[in-house]
Structure 1
Amino acid sequence: MNYSAELKKFVTSQYVYSSIRITLATVLPCLVLAHFGILKEYFLFPLGTSFVALTDQPGPFIRRRNALTFAIFCFVLVALIASLVMNFKILVFAEIIVFGMFFSLIGVYGQRLAAVGSLSLVVLAIFIDGHLTGANILKSLLIFTSGCIWFLLIFLIVTTIQPYKLAGQMIGENYLQLAEFLKIKAGYYQKNPDYSKLTTQVIAKQIEIKNLQEDTRETVFKTRTIVNESTTTSRLLMLMFLNSMDLHEKLMTSESDYEKLQQSFQDSTILVNIHHYLELLSEEITNIGIALQSGTRAKPLFDLDTELKNLNHHFFDLRNKELNPNNLENFMILRQILMRINEITKEINEIYKVFSQNIKLAKSLSTGLDFKKFMPNEEKLNFKVLKNNISFTSSHFRHALRITIALLLGYLFSLFEFLGLGHTYWIMITITAILKPAYSITKKRNLLRLYGTISGAIIAYTILYFVHINQVLFTILLLSMIMCFSFLKGRYFWAVFFMTIYVFLSFNFLNPGNVDVIFKDRILDTVIAGIIASFVSYVVFPVWEHTQNLDLMKKSAESNLIYFQSVIAKFLENNFDIEDYKVKRKNAIISLANLSDNFQRMISEPKNQRKKLEVVHQFVATSHLITAYTASLSQYVKGNEKYPEIDTENWSKKITAEMQKVINLLHDEKITETLVKESKLEPEDEVEDLLMQRKNEIEENEIVDRRDPNKISHLTEIKNIHDVLELIYDVTKEQRKVIEKYKNETATIKSTEPIPQQS
């Protein structure tokens, strides 16, 4: 592992940048207040700052600003009502029900408002018993409101000074994810690869890339200064993001029959050399990502031209030495892989040219794309959307009920004085943090929260026991806050670990010598909250992932068919709509990632809820291959180049019919005779005749030592096109058999069920 690169990736990321901003915005007022000896009295100021800061989700400036403003309004309203009714227990229960339902339901409008809703419930927990407000409620609310507004001002100043910072960091993270994706793919070429493990990693990484691309699309395409292409920086950022999506497709195209390749070239070092070169490319893409995140210029780490030249020479030497009629097709596959690697290398070299900050290049850049078509779908902010989700069929409504019931149970525990809990609001805060719409995520976060809290509490207790120098403790507090906010999105255990440390240190500064009570309360409250969250998520209107599978399978199958049709159109039509193609490519990748993500969550559910697990797994695997092979097919047509040797029209009908069969089966629709007939078409390709002719030439020792790495024989191209079309058809056929088996098993189960007797 390159530890230097890993450190740079972390330090330059949007998460560290954001966490430093949050920490400074929270801590600087604390220092001023502590200097005047009034920190304890004005503790609500930094608390309000941190709450508003945590609602700031990546995205376009206007949406972030509006969300922060809405968050301040919600926080102040909740704090006001909670402070006014805290002495009336019936009203407290009523406010938990109203706020619990409303602030959970607004998650229907997207992650940004879901974050505002979650933090509003945290504010409710903080103010619910008045332990922080004191006797002067108005003064406390003014202090809290001032702290909230303080972060909004910080946000406005920072985004004005650095309008492109977030976009650059998010685009950079896209490249870092692509580098990791390529590194996983490189694993297929090493000695004795674990194919099953690598395939699982590829699918998991596709999910991460999809989620990140969705967030980046929103940030880039809805940031006016970038879309309007008014400056050099904005145009270059747009170019870099569009290049990252094209590079993603190129990386997907390297899908091959790896087991066959390993068997064919096991006595050679060519595959190991490919593995080494792909890792070099991965490091270069990482270097580009780090440069984008840090806002610096990237320079190549390696001499890729020399490395690629050596790799190609190795292939040509091996080809001239061992090529024969029996292994001709294997060498064709390997040649095509090297061509793909050449194209990826060219793409990376072009990206490096962008970093030369060529003003002419930036000014001449015009994407010509309608960015609205590439935007992620979001619910519009109208009451009708909220109203339509007030139903037991809505997963959002069920989640809102679970949150509300769990908060009510948490509050009930706080009323049991015999438990001797001193910080009971921690129970409600922990419930809000743990309980998520998916059972699998709740289960995972529950365990991570418990482990992180216990380990963090032990470390914090040890620090406070041995360290008594305030300057050292304050430094540890700062670092803990930065690390907590940095890990909050991706590594929950570490976020909770560092959060526990800075909470302990904060309370120690406010009330020195109270560490034993904090230690007991923190762990006990976390355990109680974890038990409540687990119980509620399992018992109260759970939404199991298997109920989502069929709809996601339908969407994936339909998107793959549309994607394939857009690609095959490149072979059939002269006028090809590149924008329409890119939209369909995006939809296919998103549908695949959503299906894969749902399957990954289903694995973590109770065994009795993992229904048809093997069927879904096979469907996910075949869908992944269909998308990847379709992406491979898309790379062949360049310009007006045609392949008359391929019976493209009949291949289009054959594969489309087989894909449509899958869709019909998923929708319980009849498979027509036309579909059956077309799926059995035998395309009249000329590939086999030309291949036989070439084998005869090799038999007669007619091997020409051509060493142009940028050119590939026409026969190799048409052979690979033919093979990819066959692979798409075969995998689709396998997918159809998987669904047929699933349907037959379901029908058998229904037929064996006892028929109820008529009374």
Structure 2
Amino acid sequence: MNYKSEIQKFITSQYIYSGARVALAIIIPSVILAYFGLLKEYFLFPLGTSFVGLTDMAGPFIRRRNSLILAIISFLTVISVASFIQGYPALVFLGIVVFGMFFTLLGVYGQRLAAVGGLTLVVFSIFIDVHFSQTWEFKNIVTFIAGGIWFLLIFLLVSRLQPYKLASQMIGENYLELAEYLKIKAKFYQKNADLDALYQEVISKQIVIKNLQEETREMVFKTRTIVNEATTTSRLLMLMFLDAIDFYEKLMTSDQNYANLHAHFGKTPILPAIHRFLNDLAEEVTHIGIALQSGTKSHPSRDIDAELQKVYNIYFHLRKRKMSAETLENFMALRLILYRISEVADDVKIIHKVFSQDLRNIKSLSSGLDYDKFVPKQEQLNSRVLLNNLSLKSSHFRHAVRLTTALLIGYAVSLLGTSEIGHSYWILITIVAIMRPAYSTTKHRNLLRLYGTASGAVAAYLLLIFVKNDTLLLGILFTSMLLCFTLLKEKYATAVFFMTIYIFITFNFLNPGNVNLIFRDRILDTTIAGIIAAAVSYFILPVWEHTQNSKLMEKSTLANLRYFKNVIKKIEYKSPDDEEYRMRRKDAIISLANLSDSFQRLLSDPKNQQKKMESVHQFVTTSHLITAYTASLAQYSQSPHHFSEIDFENWERKILAELSHTLDLLSGRESQPDSDRISIKTDDRVQQLLVKRKEEILEEEFFDRRDPSRISRLTELTSIQEILELLYDVALEQRRVTEKYAVIDGVHPSEES
């Protein structure tokens, strides 16, 4: 591991900047209040700052600003109500029902408002607790809301001073994830590579990249200063993000049989050389990502051309010794791999070049893309959307019922244990933090919360017992706060660990000498909340992942079908419609990632709910291969040549027939008879050319041309034909898997061919 790069990735990331902004917004007024001896009296000010700061999610400036304003208004509303009903349990139960349902249902408008709704419930939970605030005062509301407004002002100031910073960091993070993806791809060339395990790594990383690309699309394509302003920085950021998406497609390509590759070249030096070079390229992509995050120029750290030439020298030497009519096709496959690697290396060099030169002369990108089409769809803020989700068919409504039920139970438990639980609002806060729409996600966060709280409580307890220096404790508090807000999204358990530490130290400053009580309450409340959340998620209107399978499988199949059709059109007719192609590619990648993500969650569901696991796993694998092979095929759409030797028309009919049949099975429609699909034949002339080339080699007409930039037309034709054959085989396998899945599901499709 390159520790220097890892540290640079962390300290230049959006998370450390966001965490530092929230932490400093809390620390600065806290220090000032403490200096004048007012911190204990006005501790609601930094508390309000922290809660409003936590609602700030990465995205376009206008949406972030509006969500912060909405959070302040929501907090003001629930604090006002909670302050009046505090001490009247019947009214509190009613308040939990009303606010629990409403603010949870805000999730129908997207993750940003879901965060606002969740934190609003946390604020409500705090202010209904009689231990937190014994008496209602107007000052409490003003102080808390003033803290929230303070963070809003800081956000507006920082956004004005650094309008491109977040976009640059998010695009940089895209390149960092692509570097990690490239490292995984490099592992396929390692000796004794576990191909099945690596495919799972690839799929998991694709989910991460998909989610990040969706967030970045919203950030870049909905930010006026990037889309509309013709500044050097805005053009560069747009160019870099579009290049990142194209770069991802090249890395996705899977036009080789790794098992066959290892069987024929596993004992030669070529595969280790490829592995080393891909890791070197991954390091270069990492440097690009770090440079983007930090706002500096990027320069190659090694001579990419020289390193690539070393790989080619090994290949040419191996080809000279081992090339024969029998090994021709294996060497053609290896040559194509090197050609693709050369393209990736060229992309890396071009990106470095863009960073290192003066961009003031760059004109508009003139991509001709309608960026709004590429932004993730968000529900419009109108009451109709909310009303349409007031049904048990809505996963949002079911989640709202579960969360509200859990909060009611949690509040009832806190009333029963009034004399024993001194910070009972922690029960409600923990329930809100843990519970998510999916049972598997709730289960996972429950465990992380418990681990983080337990370890953090022990660490904080020891600190408060053995460290008596207030200055040192204050430093640990500020550091823990910074790390908590920085790691909250990516490393939840670690963030909870630091959160627990700074909460313990804060309470100790506000009310010294109660460390034993705080320790007991924190562990007890977290345990109670975890039990309630787990029980309610399991028994109250659960949404199991297997109920989502058919819908996600259908979407993935349809997206792959449309992506394949568009790629064939681009290759055969050289279609210039780049926007439609990018849309189809985006839809296929997103649908695949959603299906894969659902399957990963299915693995965490109870065993009795993991239905049709084997069939779903096979479908996910075949969907991944179809998307990857189509991406491989798409690389030939950029070639100026027409590949007339390939019977694209009939290949398209054959493959689409299988994909369409799969789609019909999943949607319950009637499909064409099996005989119609089987009767489709292809008339390629590639095999004739291949036989002729083998005869030439047997007649010793082999010329050892050592030009890395040259690739024979026969190699391209053979590759295209192989990809089409693989696509057909995988589509056929997926159709058979779907028939098996449909039979298990109670549907009786036609007999297999």
- TM score, norm. by length of structure 2: 0.98
Deviation at 1:7, TM superposition (A): 0.9
Counterparts of 1:640-651 in structure 2, within 5 Å, are 640-651=640-651
- Aligned equivalent of 2:738: 739
Cα 1:462/1:749, change in 2 over 3 Å: farther
Cα 1:700/1:229, change in 2 over 3 Å: farther
- Aligned equivalent of 1:755: none
**2:515 and 2:580 mapped to 1: Cα distance?**
62
8 Å contact 1:83–1:130 — kept in the other structure? Answer: no
8 Å contact 2:131–2:423 — kept in the other structure? Answer: no
Counterparts of 1:328-343 in structure 2, within 5 Å, are 328-343=328-343
8 Å contact 1:277–1:308 — kept in the other structure? Answer: yes
8 Å contact 1:181–1:202 — kept in the other structure? Answer: yes
**2:212 and 2:547 mapped to 1: Cα distance?**
26
8 Å contact 1:657–1:679 — kept in the other structure? Answer: no
**1:551 and 1:676 mapped to 2: Cα distance?**
28
Cα 1:599/1:648, change in 2 over 3 Å: same
Cα 1:286/1:624, change in 2 over 3 Å: same
**2:419 and 2:542 mapped to 1: Cα distance?**
30
Deviation at 1:649, TM superposition (A): 1.1
8 Å contact 1:184–1:202 — kept in the other structure? Answer: yes
**2:132 and 2:40 mapped to 1: Cα distance?**
10
**1:414 and 1:746 mapped to 2: Cα distance?**
44
- Aligned equivalent of 1:570: 570
8 Å contact 1:481–1:498 — kept in the other structure? Answer: yes
Task: Decide which moves more: 588-597 or 695-704.
Answer: 695-704
Deviation at 1:134, TM superposition (A): 4.4
- Aligned equivalent of 1:29: 29
8 Å contact 1:33–1:42 — kept in the other structure? Answer: yes
- Aligned equivalent of 2:579: 579
Counterparts of 1:25-104 in structure 2, within 5 Å, are 25-104=25-104
Structure 2 spans left out of the alignment, 5+ residues: none
Q: Deviations over 1:679-731 (max 9, x none)?
A: 54221111111001111111112211111111100000000000000000000
- Aligned equivalent of 2:287: 287
**2:470 and 2:365 mapped to 1: Cα distance?**
55
Corresponding letter in the other structure for 1:697: E
Where 1:637 maps in the other structure, the secondary structure is: helix
Q: Deviations over 1:49-100 (max 9, x none)?
A: 0000000010000000000000000001100100011122211110000000
Corresponding letter in the other structure for 1:532: I
**1:569 and 1:457 mapped to 2: Cα distance?**
61
Corresponding letter in the other structure for 1:79: I
- Aligned equivalent of 2:416: 416
- Aligned equivalent of 1:698: 697
> Aligned residues: percent identity?
58
8 Å contact 1:488–1:495 — kept in the other structure? Answer: yes
Q: Deviations over 1:325-364 (max 9, x none)?
A: 1111111111111110011011111111111242245334
Cα 1:747/1:38, change in 2 over 3 Å: closer
- Aligned equivalent of 2:189: 189
**1:266 and 1:80 mapped to 2: Cα distance?**
70
- Aligned equivalent of 1:4: 4
- Aligned equivalent of 1:711: 710
Task: Decide which moves more: 644-653 or 64-73.
Answer: 644-653
8 Å contact 2:109–2:381 — kept in the other structure? Answer: yes
Where 2:363 maps in the other structure, the secondary structure is: helix
8 Å contact 2:235–2:364 — kept in the other structure? Answer: no
**1:523 and 1:189 mapped to 2: Cα distance?**
48
**2:353 and 2:675 mapped to 1: Cα distance?**
51
**2:720 and 2:419 mapped to 1: Cα distance?**
71
8 Å contact 2:174–2:209 — kept in the other structure? Answer: yes
- Aligned equivalent of 2:474: 474
Q: Is 1:236 paired with 2:257?
A: no
- Aligned equivalent of 2:265: 265
**1:268 and 1:229 mapped to 2: Cα distance?**
53
Deviation at 1:133, TM superposition (A): 3.9
**2:344 and 2:358 mapped to 1: Cα distance?**
22
Where 1:56 maps in the other structure, the secondary structure is: coil
- Aligned equivalent of 2:687: 688
- Aligned equivalent of 2:506: 506
**2:545 and 2:118 mapped to 1: Cα distance?**
23
Deviation at 1:132, TM superposition (A): 3.8
Where 1:635 maps in the other structure, the secondary structure is: helix
**1:223 and 1:504 mapped to 2: Cα distance?**
40
Deviation at 1:136, TM superposition (A): 4.8
Q: Is 1:17 paired with 2:17?
A: yes
Deviation at 1:321, TM superposition (A): 1.2
Deviation at 1:629, TM superposition (A): 0.2
**1:174 and 1:628 mapped to 2: Cα distance?**
19
Deviation at 1:747, TM superposition (A): 3.8
Corresponding letter in the other structure for 1:326: E
8 Å contact 2:571–2:634 — kept in the other structure? Answer: no
Where 1:189 maps in the other structure, the secondary structure is: coil
Corresponding letter in the other structure for 2:728: Y
Q: Is 1:483 paired with 2:487?
A: no
Deviation at 1:670, TM superposition (A): 2.1
- Aligned equivalent of 1:386: 386
8 Å contact 1:559–1:588 — kept in the other structure? Answer: yes
8 Å contact 2:264–2:330 — kept in the other structure? Answer: yes
**2:429 and 2:529 mapped to 1: Cα distance?**
9
Deviation at 1:130, TM superposition (A): 4.2
**1:41 and 1:418 mapped to 2: Cα distance?**
25
Corresponding letter in the other structure for 2:599: F
**1:354 and 1:418 mapped to 2: Cα distance?**
64
Cα 1:418/1:108, change in 2 over 3 Å: closer
Q: Deviations over 1:600-631 (max 9, x none)?
A: 00000000000001100000000000000000
Deviation at 1:571, TM superposition (A): 2.4
**2:444 and 2:650 mapped to 1: Cα distance?**
49
**2:746 and 2:378 mapped to 1: Cα distance?**
38
Counterparts of 1:202-351 in structure 2, within 5 Å, are 202-351=202-351
- Aligned equivalent of 1:626: 626
**1:267 and 1:462 mapped to 2: Cα distance?**
56
8 Å contact 2:742–2:748 — kept in the other structure? Answer: no
Deviation at 1:269, TM superposition (A): 1.1
Task: Decide which moves more: 462-471 or 530-539.
Answer: 462-471
**1:714 and 1:360 mapped to 2: Cα distance?**
40
**1:454 and 1:37 mapped to 2: Cα distance?**
32
**1:360 and 1:517 mapped to 2: Cα distance?**
62
Corresponding letter in the other structure for 2:722: D
- Aligned equivalent of 1:671: 671
Where 1:325 maps in the other structure, the secondary structure is: coil
Structure 1 spans left out of the alignment, 5+ residues: 751-759
**2:247 and 2:681 mapped to 1: Cα distance?**
34
- Aligned equivalent of 2:719: 720
**2:559 and 2:253 mapped to 1: Cα distance?**
18
Deviation at 1:664, TM superposition (A): 1.0
8 Å contact 1:254–1:340 — kept in the other structure? Answer: no
Deviation at 1:131, TM superposition (A): 3.7
**1:291 and 1:676 mapped to 2: Cα distance?**
57
Matched positions, count: 749
Q: Is 1:531 paired with 2:531?
A: yes
Task: Decide which moves more: 635-644 or 202-211.
Answer: 635-644
Cα 1:364/1:407, change in 2 over 3 Å: closer
User: What's the Cα RMSD here?
Assistant: 1.3
**1:444 and 1:582 mapped to 2: Cα distance?**
35
Q: Is 1:135 paired with 2:135?
A: yes
**1:347 and 1:229 mapped to 2: Cα distance?**
26
**1:679 and 1:342 mapped to 2: Cα distance?**
39
- TM score, norm. by length of structure 1: 0.97
Corresponding letter in the other structure for 1:249: E
Deviation at 1:204, TM superposition (A): 0.4
Corresponding letter in the other structure for 2:573: E
Corresponding letter in the other structure for 1:139: K
**2:605 and 2:656 mapped to 1: Cα distance?**
35
8 Å contact 1:175–1:244 — kept in the other structure? Answer: yes
8 Å contact 1:655–1:679 — kept in the other structure? Answer: no
Corresponding letter in the other structure for 2:333: I
- Aligned equivalent of 1:754: none
Where 2:362 maps in the other structure, the secondary structure is: helix
Deviation at 1:265, TM superposition (A): 0.4
Task: Decide which moves more: 294-303 or 133-142.
Answer: 133-142
8 Å contact 1:410–1:529 — kept in the other structure? Answer: yes
Where 1:209 maps in the other structure, the secondary structure is: helix
Deviation at 1:546, TM superposition (A): 0.4
Where 1:392 maps in the other structure, the secondary structure is: coil
